[in-house]
């Protein structure tokens, strides 16, 4: 049993606080939009009971009791403390929220040895979890599962090959079939799934890493630009703030962004190199150098660019113009905590790893 505090903010939104919120950066938090409310987990390294911001009490009552217990559901209208307990829906909601967090913030890095998660595989498991958590979503359930299944159904055939009669793979496939049936979905991959479930075949055990090849190879490494003349006068590591570009654009390592300053005659020039991530975006990144915006060009496994220097202090950071939320607090310690979380989960020591984590851990 645990105590939660129920209060209202200045807008009248009801706040259910089960876990203290230290106000950490967005990449340390998991969030889930549900019927009439937003659930949040302030620290993904310790997923427990969520906090809730309730803007529609009547709609939220469909799941409040199942997440927090009847005591909290009754206390919401009274703005008082109440006791809650761990429930199955709270556990599933936390798992679903973590999966969505991983789709956005998983610190894939060749340099740090943290493999990416298979995007379509993770998306299908999120569809299955969403269906399991249908009490949270009510009328929006079919829309949510439809989007996930249609976007990620390329992983269905490999999942069928990975079939285990009584294991987590079979559980996910059956849930996907039920979710697709509920949403009225039809496609060739889904038809193959239905045919298989009607008469499951047994075959040889298959290494899942062979079934879910990564979309792109990891970056090899960030290194010094080639073909550049001039005397090296300084070199260093730039800031790699994950909040300043979408996932997969840049290797998540703290050392992924490097720079070299050179004396070229009377001029001073800096070359920036950032190890590329797992995606090949059509849009281009840039670098902040001495408050100037420097375009970067993707060449194989690296983003590169150069600029003239006008002073001694050199600060370099990468960003996607238009996406960038601006420079914030120094969150290097928080980024390292997330890397450590990923490393721990890839040991598969958690009670219920995602299938995408099992695949990542089984790869080279």
Residue 288 contacts residue 315 (beta carbons within 8 Å) = yes
Question: Average pLDDT over the chain, rounded to whole?
Answer: 90
- In the sheet that holds 14-17, the strands lie side by side as 30-34, 37-41, 51-54, 14-17, 2-8, 82-84
Residue with tokens 């993707």: 298
- Gap between the Cα atoms of 260 and 66, Å rounded: 57
pLDDT at 1: 65
Asked whether residue 238 is assigned to any structural domain, the reply reads yes
Asked whether residue 142 is assigned to any structural domain, the reply reads yes
- In the sheet that holds 286-289, the strands lie side by side as 292-295, 286-289, 316-319
Written as one string, the DSSP assignment of 160-206 is HHT--TTSHHHHHHHHHHHHHHHHT---HHHHHHHHHHHS-------
> Judging by beta carbons within 10 Å of its beta carbon (0-12, 13-18, 19+), is residue 54 exposed, middle or buried?
buried
241 plus 302 within the same structural domain: yes
163 plus 205 within the same structural domain: yes
- Gap between the Cα atoms of 179 and 255, Å rounded: 42
Name the 3-class secondary structure at 355.
helix
On whether the pTM is more than 0.85, the answer is yes
pLDDT at 214: 65
Q: Based on the structure, what is the number of domains in the chain?
A: 3
Asked whether residue 221 is assigned to any structural domain, the reply reads no
pLDDT at 80: 62
55's tokens? 């803007």
Which range has the worst mean pLDDT, 100-104, 171-175, 211-215, 230-234? Answer: 211-215
322 plus 352 within the same structural domain: no
193 plus 242 within the same structural domain: no
State the Cα torsion 332-333-335-337 to the nearest 10°.
170
Asked whether residue 13 is assigned to any structural domain, the reply reads yes
Neighbouring CB atoms inside 10 A of 232's CB total 12
**Alpha-carbon distances, residue 221 vs 199, 217, 275, 276, 303 (angstroms):** 47, 12, 6, 8, 11
Domain that holds residue 289: 231-328
219 has a pLDDT exceeding 50:
no
- Gap between the Cα atoms of 304 and 112, Å rounded: 20
51 plus 135 within the same structural domain: no
49 has a pLDDT exceeding 50:
yes
76 plus 128 within the same structural domain: no
Asked whether residue 305 is assigned to any structural domain, the reply reads yes
279 plus 302 within the same structural domain: yes
246 plus 301 within the same structural domain: yes
211 plus 235 within the same structural domain: no
Residue with tokens 């089984």: 362
Which range has the worst mean pLDDT, 156-165, 183-192, 206-215, 238-247? Answer: 206-215
């Amino acid at each position: 049993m645990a105590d939660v505090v129920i209060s209202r903010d200045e807008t009248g939104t009801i706040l259910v606080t089960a876990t203290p919120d230290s106000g950490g950066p967005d990449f340390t938090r998991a969030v889930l939009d549900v019927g009439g409310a937003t659930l949040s987990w302030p620290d993904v390294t310790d997923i427990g009971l969520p906090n809730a911001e309730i803007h529609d009490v009547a709609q939220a009552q469909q799941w409040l009791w199942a997440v927090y217990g009847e005591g909290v559901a009754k206390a919401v209208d009274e703005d008082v403390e109440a006791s809650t307990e761990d429930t199955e829906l709270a556990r599933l909601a936390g798992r679903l929220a973590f999966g969505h967090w991983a789709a956005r913030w998983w610190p894939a890095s060749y340099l740090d040895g943290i493999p990416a998660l298979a995007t379509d595989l993770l998306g299908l498991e999120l569809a299955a979890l969403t269906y399991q958590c249908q009490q949270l979503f009510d009328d929006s359930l079919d829309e949510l599962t439809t989007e996930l299944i249609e976007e990620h159904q390329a992983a269905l055939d490999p999942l069928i090959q990975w079939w285990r009669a009584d294991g987590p793979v079979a559980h996910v496939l059956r849930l996907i079939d039920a979710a697709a049936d509920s949403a009225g979905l039809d496609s060739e991959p889904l038809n193959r799934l239905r045919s298989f479930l009607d008469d499951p075949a047994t075959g040889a055990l298959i290494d899942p890493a062979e079934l879910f090849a990564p979309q792109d190879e990891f970056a090899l490494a960030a290194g010094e630009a080639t073909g550049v003349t001039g005397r090296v006068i300084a070199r260093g590591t730039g800031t790699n703030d994950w909040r300043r570009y979408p996932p997969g654009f840049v290797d998540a390592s703290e050392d992924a962004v490097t720079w070299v300053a050179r004396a070229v005659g009377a001029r001073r020039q800096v070359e920036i190199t950032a190890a590329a991530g797992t995606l090949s975006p059509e849009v281009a990144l840039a670098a902040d150098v001495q408050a100037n915006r420097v375009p970067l060009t993707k060449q194989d496994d690296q983003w590169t660019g150069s600029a003239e220097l006008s002073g001694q202090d050199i600060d370099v950071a990468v960003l996607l113009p238009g996406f960038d939320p601006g420079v914030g607090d120094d969150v290097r310690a928080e980024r390292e905590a997330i890397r450590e979380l990923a490393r721990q989960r890839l040991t598969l020591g958690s009670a219920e790893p995602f299938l995408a984590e099992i695949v990542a851990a089984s790869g080279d």
